[in-house]
Amino acid sequence: MAVNLQTPIDYLKGVGPNRADLLRKELGIHTYQDLINLFPNRYIDRTRYYKINQLQRNNADVQIVGKIKSFKEVAQKRGKRLVGTFQDETGTIELVWFRGQKWIKENLKLNKTYVAFGKTNWFNGKFSMPHPELELLEEHEKNLRSAMQPVYPSTEKLSNRGITNRMIGKIMQQLFIETNGKFVETLPDYLRSELKLINKQVALFNVHFPKSQDLLSRAQFRLKFEELFYIQLQLIIKNLVHKSKIKGFPFDNVGNYFNTFFKAHLPFDLTGAQKRVLKEIRADLGSNAQMNRLLQGDVGSGKTIVAFMSMLIALDNGFQACLMAPTEILSVQHFNGLQDWCKILNINIEILTGSTKTSKRRKIHESLENGTLQIIIGTHALLEDKVKFKNLGLAIIDEQHRFGVAQRSKLWHKNTSPPHVLVMTATPIPRTLAMSVYGDLDISIIDELPPGRKSIKTVHRYDKNRLNVFKFIRDEISKGRQIYLVYPLIQESEKMDYKDLMDGYESISRDFPMPQFQISIVHGKMKPEDKDYEMQRFIKGETQIMVATTVIEVGVNVPNASVMIIESAERFGLSQLHQLRGRVGRGAEQSYCILMTSHKLSNDSKTRLETMVRTNDGFEIAEVDLRLRGPGDIMGTQQSGVLNLKIADIIKDNDILQHARHHAKSILKIDPTLALSENNVILNTYKQLSKYKNIWNYIS
């Protein structure tokens, strides 16, 4: 009888309630299935036995065959250590234990042949091996053991409670005995033969007990492909279901508003990328399905005009449109940007934020409900229950990662039928990650900058170059330009010797004295109205220098600001540095970004700074960021759960991911409901995955 893989781990021989409890808490292992999916981190070659006189001073894992000749206890600062003399025909080595000494003295026998395995240390002209794994030679030869020995993920608590790597290996062995190594195949024959994949059973056995390097590689490839294939399959199905079930308003008409704007009022020629993206959006809006599209474009690539032209299509079809931004400053900026175009086209547009006066609010609510208000720009205020539309046809959401899914669905429910949704983000998401996290959204990318934009020159300077940097600032101000100066912290933290904002403000004020120079200061602890006042002074050009914390990161547009100086740049993440740099370079003049740091830099900091100096390409920067930080950090916790991968690595296995997505797409193209008999295996596995959410935790 095949054992049910959903059996609780407590029932596996050799585990029992206490160990089961630890495995649940420490490694999240609840069932037989979870244990099988505990894949080794690395492997050690246990085919080779060293003689003591062959040992090298390299701190590697080795195994030696010999006998324990004697034990002695050595006093040390805290307590004592136990030292055993271990001998083979070529020499001796010390085995050392700092804990568990009573058990060791009682259970290990002198003058019996053992295999000792562990890392070697070289100290005072002698090799030693702390806390070795010891096994009697005759036992060692009996065990089911492979050339490559797996090393499993573990925690300090597990090791301290006796659940060692060897112990996990033993219960894994027991699991294969109890299940008789019979595992249900999850990939169809035609796919396996096309890709030359080994079967599930062989793959699982060889990933835990590899018979050779070659079989291990093939087992890993097979299991990684399978894991990524099913993630992609789920995302693509979600997208297809969405399109078939959720009907959108068909916008058949590209009419007067769009054509007039395109022919007579377009401020500049659209780039090829903007045209391509508009085409994709028009196709979505004209189909019968609801649009659910992510628009990615680097800072300054011209997403706003694409968004506006999409709104015009909604208006041409008699619908309303809204644009929601995460902050008031951004909303106001969008509103100011679109207002002039709307005037020319005679379109009714308003803005609704937390600070809109009550009397004005009432008017807005009324005109939204009776349909006379065509476009509304706003913040979270648009989500309030009082806000009702006559017929919202298109909702555009700026900087998506700041809005939860729940908030998006709130916008949907303001309508009889859900509006088309366009999500815009200026944070480039690496392709790998976009395919996995937003695989259920259609993705459009604007990957070229509008003509005439000069690329920003970025340099890295140390604190000792500060006087030269100040001279450069003076020169730029004398040309009529404005400067941003950004700091990471507001108040000095005791441990960190970073110049905090106030210090910085004072030293800048000394070097750039009034009345010749005017300085604005903006930080998170200010009241919103004070912040706004200072921002407005800078936007109007009344102040030349803006000293700020990262509140200016998203979306402030001052075309005259040409220099961004980032203090303690080593403290910022790559995507943040890139976002900050995007605040300059918005006018026709050459702009600069100066990264100031101390001399003490970690390797990661150096990589970040070198990347910033080398490239302005947001997607390349996002790839480096992904390598440095890993997917969880980039997506934020709410989405990193999607990528709780068991064996694949989204960064290193990028090729396998692309491969898996390609095959999932092709299969669903031919057989969207997986009804063909040859796809039975896929359908069953897909159903299992949906049923046991905990099998592989990658169901978002």
Is 83 domain-assigned?
A: yes
Mind listing the pLDDT tens digit for each residue in 42-72?
888 777 788 998 888 776 778 899 999 999 9
Query: Mind listing the pLDDT tens digit for each residue in 552-562?
Result: 645 567 888 89
Average pLDDT over every residue of 445-470 = 86
- For residues 575 and 170, the model is more confident at 170
Helix ranges (H only) for 383-486 are 405-412, 431-437, 466-478
Q: Which residues of 458-496 are buried (b: 16+ CB within 10 A; e: fewer)?
A: bebbeeeeeeeeeebbeebbeeebbbbbbbbbeeeeeee
The pLDDT tens digits of the residues spanning 347-356 come to 999 999 888 8
For residue 9, is it within any domain? no
Average pLDDT, the chain: 84
For helices 303-316 and 272-286, angle between their N-to-C axes, nearest 10 degrees: 30
Residues 392 and 507 both lie in one domain: no
Average pLDDT over residues 685-699: 60
Residue where a domain terminates, one of 560, 589, 615: 615
Find, among 645, 633, 611, 619, the residue nearest to 401 by Cα. Answer: 633
Query: For the residues 115-133, what does the mean pLDDT come to?
Result: 87
Q: Which of 136-145, 358-367, 506-515 has the lowest mean pLDDT?
A: 136-145
- So what's the pLDDT on residue 449? 75
The vertex-247 CA angle with 294 and 409, nearest 5°, equals 55
pLDDT at 698 over 70: no
Residue 396 CA to residue 462 CA, distance in Å, equals: 42
- Mean pLDDT across 241-257: 83
For 658, the domain range is 200-245+653-688
Task: Give the whole-angstrom CA distance, residue 17 versus residue 623.
Answer: 44
At 259-287, the pLDDT tens digits run 999 999 988 889 999 999 999 999 999 88
Residue 662 lies in a domain: yes
CA-nearest of 374, 36, 364, 363 to 176 is 36
Q: Are strands 420-425 and 392-398 parallel, antiparallel or unpaired?
A: parallel
604 within domain boundaries:
yes
User: For residue 452, is it left (φ>0), alpha (ψ between -120 and 50) or beta?
Assistant: left
468 & 548 share domain: yes
Pair 473, 604 in one domain: yes
> Does residue 659 contact residue 640 with C-beta atoms inside 8 Å?
no
Burial 432-449 (b: 16+ CB within 10 A, else e): bbbbbbbbbbbbbbbbbb
Which tokens sit at 178?
């109890």
pLDDT at 316: 95
pLDDT at residue 556, rounded to an integer: 64
Q: What's the average model confidence in pLDDT over 112-116? A: 94
Q: Kindly state the average pLDDT of the residues 656-674.
A: 92
Split at pLDDT 50, 70, 90, the class of 221 is very high
**Positive or negative torsion for Cα 539, 541, 547, 553:** positive
Query: Could you tell me the CATH number of the domain that includes residue 526?
Result: 3.40.50.300
Tokens 């089961």 label which residue? Answer: 20
Q: In what order do the strands lie in the sheet with 113-119?
A: 121-123, 126-130, 91-97, 80-88, 61-75, 113-119, 133-136
Tokens of 513: 């004295």
Report whether 165 contacts 173 (CB < 8 A).
no
Residue ending a domain, choose from 446, 481, 503: 446
For 262, which DSSP code? I
Least confident of 34-38, 314-318, 558-562: 558-562
Q: Spell out the residues 6+ positions from residue 437 whose beta carbon is closer than 8 angstroms to its own.
A: 429, 631, 635, 639, 642, 643, 700
For residues 469 and 335, membership in a common domain is answered with no
For residues 235 and 267, state if they share a domain.
Answer: no
Q: Which residue has the higher pLDDT, 287 or 316?
A: 316
- The set of residues, in sequence order, having a beta carbon less than 8 Å from that of 67 and lying 6+ positions away, is 86, 87, 88, 110, 111, 112, 113, 114
> How far is residue 280's CA from residue 603's CA, in Å, rounded to a whole number?
42
Q: What is residue 644's predicted lDDT score, i.e. its pLDDT?
A: 67
Write the DSSP symbol of residue 9.
Answer: G
Q: Are 618 and 578 in contact (CB under 8 A)?
A: yes
Per-residue pLDDT, 256: 92
Q: Where among 96, 125, 144 does a domain terminate?
A: 144
pLDDT per residue as tens digits for the range 437-452: 666 678 888 887 777 7
Q: Per-residue pLDDT for 661 more than 80?
A: yes
Cβ contacts of 642 within 8 Å, gap of 6 or more: 436, 437, 635, 698, 700
Instruction: Flag whether pLDDT at 699 surpasses 50.
Output: no
Residues 534 and 674 in one domain: no
Q: What would the mean pLDDT of 324-348 be, rounded to a whole number?
A: 89
274 and 382 share one domain: yes
- The residue-averaged pLDDT of 277-300 equals 87
Are 219 and 96 in a shared domain? no
Above 90 in pLDDT, residue 459?
yes
| Number of helices followed by number of strands (H, E) in the chain | 26, 22
The structure tokens listed for 65 are 């065959």
Q: How many domains does the chain have?
A: 4
CB 131, CB 98: distance < 8 Å: yes
Question: Which of 61-70, 104-113, 347-356, 400-409 shows the lowest per-residue confidence on average (mean pLDDT)?
Answer: 400-409
393, 419 in Cβ contact below 8 A?
A: yes
Whether 173 is covered by a domain: the verdict is no
DSSP secondary structure string for all residues of 267-300: SSPPPHHHHHHHHHHHHHHHSSBPPEEEEEE-TT
* One domain, residues 482 and 570: yes
Pair type for strands 42-45 and 482-486: unpaired
Sheet holding 292-297, edge to edge: 349-352, 375-378, 320-324, 392-398, 420-425, 292-297, 442-446
**Peptide bond between residue 515 and the one before it cis (omega within 30 degrees of 0):** yes
State percent of the chain over pLDDT 70: 88
What amino acid occupies position 517? F
Res 632: pLDDT: 53
Same domain, yes or no, for 604 and 530?
yes
Residue 294 lies in a domain: yes
The CATH number that applies at residue 56 is: 2.40.50.140
pTM: 0.64
Is the pLDDT at 23 greater than 70, yes or no? Answer: yes
Are 424 and 397 a contacting pair, CB within 8 Å? Answer: yes
Q: What is the 3-state secondary structure (H, E, C) of 529-562?
A: HHHHHHHHHHHCCCCCEEEECHHHCCCCCCCCEE
In a domain? residue 150: no
The per-residue pLDDT for 432 is 67
Phi, psi of 69 (to 5 degrees): -90, -35
| 493 pLDDT more than 60 | no
**Within this chain, do residues 599 and 502 fall inside the same structural domain, yes or no?**
yes
The pLDDT, as a whole number, for residue 694 is 38
Distance in Å from the first CA to the final CA of the chain:
33
Is residue 54 classed as helix, strand or coil in its secondary structure? helix
- Tokens representing 206 are 């060889």
Per-residue pLDDT band for 529 (boundaries 50, 70, 90) equals: confident
Amino acid at 655: D
DSSP assignment of 558-594: -TTEEEEEETTGGGS-HHHHHHHHTTS--SSS--EEE
Q: Give me the mean pLDDT over the 154-162 stretch.
A: 83
- What pLDDT does 4 receive? 80
Q: Summarize the confidence of residues 28-32 as an average pLDDT.
A: 90
In a domain, residue 190? The reply is no
Instruction: Return the amino acid letter for 193.
Output: S
R_g of the chain, CA atoms, integer Å: 32
Strand, helix or coil for residue 198: coil
Answer for the pair 94, 126: CB distance below 8 angstroms, yes or no: yes
Is 478's pLDDT higher than 60? yes
- Could you tell me if 510 and 571 lie in one domain? yes
Please give the average per-residue pLDDT across 389-397, as a whole number. Answer: 91
